[in-house]
Chain A
Amino acid sequence: MALRSLIANKLRSFLTALGIVIGVASVISMISIGEGARKQTLETIAKFGTNIISVKPGQKKTRHVSTGKVTTLILEDAYSIDEHIEGITGVAPQTYQSAQLKYVNKNSNSTVRGTTSDYPRLANFEIGKGRFFNKEETRGAKRICVLGATVVKNLFEKEDPIGQFVKVDGDNFLVIGTMEPKGALSWWDPDDQIFVPITTAQKRLFGQKHVQSIDIQVENIDELETVKESITKLLRRRHNTREGKESDFYVSNSSQWLNSWGDAAKTFTFLLGGIAAISLMVGGIGIMNIMLVSVTERTREIGIRKAIGAKKREILEQFLIESILISFMGGGIGVVLGVGISKAVSKMGGWDTVISLQSILLAFGFSVAVGVFFGYYPANKASNLNPIEALRYE
């Protein structure tokens, strides 16, 4: 019965349901976009490893005002950490700068990262072709390099880069390997860099003695804090830092900002979901509005039904079912649309979306609840109509 009256008012039912459709679709797509953003961020950050401790030079400060670069963190510090600290599985000192790369007639402005043989393992880089440089080559400051995937694409296109020479700031470097692509972050493309032995970078390219960062991989994540402490101790001793004086470096680990990033993304998801929920609410008010019009318009019909024996509950049910059906259909179409939007966004925007069953159930359940909540008042109004007055109504 309820269905029949909905069919009789096709356009109206559709427009009413549209409010719910938009609400549900936006809840689902917004949450999936937010979740996707969160997942993607966490994944890319996790790619750099959560068991990595990073030592960076501190700020030179005069009366708490930073006045310049600290150059006390040197390669020997890294070797010393490797030698003396327990519970670590790799050390990768790094120094990096942007440099002009050239191959035949192609140019590229990329990051040149000087490092050691442990780096690919610590930074989760996979070797594509060829190989990474070894310890001896690092010691010997050889002019060899390994190219990131973006560099390969920019300089060589389809050509095989292994065995070719790339000019880095005018010097020829032999390509001995390439990296598998890692995927770009929004603010930085880790594939757009080349890797050279750190000694080569220091002596031949940048002309510096210090390193910009030392990454240390911890064997057991539970020992992270202990390892951090012993590294701090070791370096303070090596740098002759007196008791009570601030260190000229600082030690951090990636899981710290992994957490804060995750939290930020979660807030983002809640925000999007909240906005979408409001639109669902507006859809619900639309249902109530149209049901009230429907009750007034069908006053006479209600009178007839009551006169021939419809009970109060049966009238209530009829109108309630009508509004639930509208929101149910709206919810169904909304789910399809929402999933479609999420898929489209991930396809066209290259943005991962996570469609969780939870968000679908939440949106769908909420839409039906909206149908009941906003349908109840009009339905109750209909069921309380006085049959005599309803029959007299023109």
Chain B
Amino acid sequence: MSSMIKIENLGKTYNQGSIEVCALKEVNLEINPGEFVAIIGPSGSGKSTLMNLMGCLDQPTVGDYILENVNVKTLDPNKLAEIRNRRIGFVFQSFNLLPRATALENVELPLLYGRIPNSREIALKALEKVGLAERAKHRPNELSGGERQRVAIARAIVNNPAIILADEPTGNLDSTNGEEILRIFNDLNAEGVTIILITHEKEIADRTKRIIAMKDGKMVSDTPTNRASEC
């Protein structure tokens, strides 16, 4: 079985004025389909940069990122947008929903960009999956934080992506809501979706099956958790 994500000697340098900031260097990583991975590390450790690269939002300075056997370096911006649309679902710490659109419209958006027919019904099904079908007509500001994040997850999974990239998804939530989000991720993972979760909380990372620790732009450890044996 070929790997979902293969990262070889990946590095990223930002130019901030005259100073070159090295955000990521010599990262080698392989993630297989169906994995549930946590990336942990303090702020500035390069975990967000890594996620941006894995999410095709950014291009690496050096090294190769091979997503589903395609080297991302060879793709043009439109093709990258298509990958983000079809193969990757994003969940952000600050939810990032469109404030003026209803929950349903937010979930529908990736389908519209992907020009997929019957978008309304598919979007409603995704909302059902996160248990928010009855809140479909509400706008983000009429929803609680936990509900907003569940709408964001519904939006991430609506196109049946291969990977879900979640950047501190529980960071803005209380523990009850955080728990709910993690439960949904678990269910999705059980259905075979690859989930990569960025966090700085050890307890949350422990709920995944594999923990990758980052520090100063480098990977410092890669260890399976107790739950790894479950699958």
Q: Which residues from chain A sit less than 8 Å from chain B, CB to CB?
A: 1, 4-5, 8, 300-301, 303-314, 387-388, 391
Contacts and interface: CB of A to CB of B under 8 A. Distances in A.
A300 B96 CA distance: 8
A304 B86 contact: no
Interface of A is mostly: helix
Of B55, B78, B84, B155, the most chain A CB neighbours within 10 A belong to: B84
B110 A309 contact: yes
A304 B96 contact: yes
B82 A309 contact: yes
B190 interface: no
Nearest to A4: B100
A305 B96 CA distance: 10
Contact of A306 (B81, B97, B98, B100): B81
Contacts of A307: 55, 57, 84, 90, 96
Contacts of A308: 84-85, 90, 109-110, 113, 155
Contacts of A310: 81, 85, 113
Contact of B98 (A301, A313, A387, A391): A301
A344 B14 CA distance: 64
Nearest to B105: A4
Contacts of A300: 96
A314 B113 contact: yes
B26 interface: no
A388 B96 CA distance: 12
Contacts of B86: 309
Nearest to B90: A307
Nearest to A8: B100
B106 to A, nearest CB: 9
Given A387-B57, A388-B52, A312 B96 contact: no
A310 B110 CA distance: 8
11 contacts: A1-B112, A4-B100, A301-B98, A304-B97, A308-B90, A308-B113, A309-B81, A309-B85, A311-B82, A311-B113, A388-B58
B228 interface: no
B206 to A, nearest CB: 28
Contacts of B112: 1
B159 to A, nearest CB: 8
A8 B139 CA distance: 13
Interface residues of B, number: 25
A308 B164 CA distance: 12
Contacts of A4: 100-101
B77 interface: yes
B104 to A, nearest CB: 13
B96 A391 contact: yes
Contacts of A387: 57
B65 interface: no
B139 to A, nearest CB: 11
Contacts of B84: 306-309
Contacts of B55: 307
Nearest to A9: B100
Nearest to B100: A8
A305 B114 CA distance: 12
A290 B109 CA distance: 25
A388 B55 CA distance: 10
Contacts of A391: 57, 92, 96
Contacts of B98: 301, 304
A384 to B, nearest CB: 10
A305 B109 contact: yes
A8 B58 CA distance: 32
Contacts of B109: 305, 308
Nearest to A5: B100
The 6 closest A-B pairs by CB, nearest first: A309-B85, A311-B81, A308-B110, A309-B113, A309-B84, A8-B100
A12 to B, nearest CB: 13
A8 B102 CA distance: 13
A360 B110 CA distance: 41
Contacts of A314: 113
Contacts of A306: 57, 81, 84
Contacts of A305: 109, 113
A13 to B, nearest CB: 13
Contact of B81 (A5, A303, A312): A312
Interface string B73-92: 00001100110111000101
Nearest to A300: B96
Contacts of A388: 52, 57-58
Given A300-B96, A391-B92, 10 more contacts: A4-B101, A8-B100, A309-B82, A309-B85, A309-B113, A310-B81, A311-B78, A311-B81, A311-B113, A312-B78
Contacts of A309: 81-82, 84-86, 110, 113-114, 159
A387 B83 CA distance: 14
Interface in B145-178: 155, 159
A241 B100 CA distance: 92
Contacts of B52: 388
A33 B150 CA distance: 61
A5 B85 CA distance: 22
A380 to B, nearest CB: 14
B158 to A, nearest CB: 9
B116 to A, nearest CB: 11
A304 B85 CA distance: 11
Nearest to B87: A309
A309 B92 CA distance: 15
A140 B82 CA distance: 102
Nearest to B165: A307
Nearest to B81: A311
Contacts of A1: 112
Of A307, A313, A388, the most chain B CB neighbours within 10 A belong to: A307
